[in-house]
Amino acid sequence: MSLIDDFLARWREYRAPGYYEEFDYHWTMTVDLDRCTGCEACVTACQAENNTPIVGEEAIARGRHMQWMRIERYWEGEYPDVKLRAIPMFCQHCDAAPCETVCPVSATYHNQDGLNAQIYNRCIGTRSCAVYCPYEVRYFNYNNHHWDAPLEQQLNPDVSVREKGVMEKCTFCIQRIRQAKDAAKDDGRRRVQDGEVQPACVQTCPTEALVFGDRKDPESGVSQMLGNERAYTVLEELNTDPSVVYLKKVEADA
């Protein structure tokens, strides 16, 4: 009996909100929608960087597409007077993430850097996280994927190739964060400086709409952006406390 009590006590301790309050870094991304043109360069960069498979026509028809990052398009007005609103949507790395609380095997959890981690080899594929995610940014491997030669040569060796039955999502390019930390350690520094980490999407964005950095550093580029009066988070009413902050598009006639 005491064993079960002990287990339950640990379980509650782990599940209690706020168990990850002490962040070492707090990686944050800002998306300036005024700069975003919806060109999807970030989507392509993400696909290339993170070994995301090309699932094929049939899978897409069944709603089994795989893109860690997508551009949501909203058309406003009647033709010919239409306006396009493009919103890049990817894992929001919520500090109070609904997906983390439902995973029965803790394959997804919040780490000390404010990242919503997804551990592929622990995932058993219940897909409950995808159900709970209000942003619809978790993607499930319904099939084993395969890269036609010579495409397998461009796979990123720093990123695991996911197997069938595993959930996956944006990691804020954890391999690049690890690499930057590695380089910082080589230099004898404990912390990564601002600008040393750039996820693939941020690096690629031609209009520099995306900014990535550590929110805990008040001097960082991303902290400067957070003070902007246009800043908002998506689905704020759900209290998920996302780490991705959007800057509202400036309207000419508003």
Residue 32 or 113 with smaller CB distance to another protein: 113
Write down the least CB distance from residue 148 to another protein, Å: 20
Q: Cβ of 192: how many Cβ atoms within 10 Å?
A: 22
Q: Using the minimum distance from each CB to another protein, give the nearer residue, 92 or 171.
A: 171
Residue 111 C-beta: closest distance to another protein, Å: 5
Element (H, E) at 109: strand 108-110
Pick 32 or 168: Cβ nearer another protein: 168
**With respect to another protein, which residue has the nearer C-beta, 40 or 158?**
158
Cα 177 from Cα 196, distance rounded (Å): 8
Q: Is 40 in the site for another protein (CB under 8 A)?
A: no
> Stretches 41-49, 124-132, 178-186, 195-203: which one binds another protein (CB under 8 A)?
178-186
Q: Which candidate, 24, 14, 27, 5, places its Cα nearest to that of 245?
A: 27
Minimum Å distance from CB 51 to another protein? 11
Distance separating alpha carbons of residues 88 and 23, to the nearest angstrom: 26
User: What DSSP letter does each residue of 9-59 carry, written as one string?
Assistant: HHHHHHHSTTTT-S-S--EEEEEETTT-----HHHHHHHHHTT-----HHH
Q: Looking at 82-90, 108-116, 126-134, 195-203, which segment touches another protein (CB under 8 A)?
A: 108-116
User: Which CB sits closer to another protein, 182 or 208?
Assistant: 182
Figure out which of the listed residues 126, 160, 193, 233 binds another protein, where binding follows CB under 8 A: 160
Q: Residue 185 is encoded by which pair of tokens?
A: 């350690």
Selected range binding another protein among 9-17, 57-65, 172-180, 212-220, rule: CB under 8 A: 172-180
Q: Is 152 in the site for another protein (CB under 8 A)?
A: no
Q: How many CA atoms lie within 13 A of 213 on its CB side?
A: 20
**For the stretch 76-106, what's the b/e string if a residue is b when 16 or more beta carbons lie within 10 angstroms of its beta carbon?**
eeeeeeeeeebbbbbbbbbbebbbbebbeee
Cis bond leading into 206, ω under 30°? no
In the bound complex, what is the minimum distance in angstroms from residue 149's beta carbon to another protein? Answer: 19
User: Looking at 15, 73, 164, 178, which residue binds another protein (CB under 8 A)?
Assistant: 178
Residue list 6-25, contact with another protein (CB under 8 A): 24
Scan for tokens 């406003």, then name that residue. Answer: 76
Beta carbon of residue 112, minimum distance to another protein (angstroms, whole number): 5
Q: How far is the CB of 2 from another protein (least distance, A)?
A: 25
Residue with structure tokens 């006639």?
253
Q: How many CB atoms lie within 10 A of CB 121?
A: 9
The binding site for another protein (CB under 8 A) comprises: 24, 109, 111-113, 115, 117, 119-122, 158-161, 171, 174-175, 178, 182, 185-186
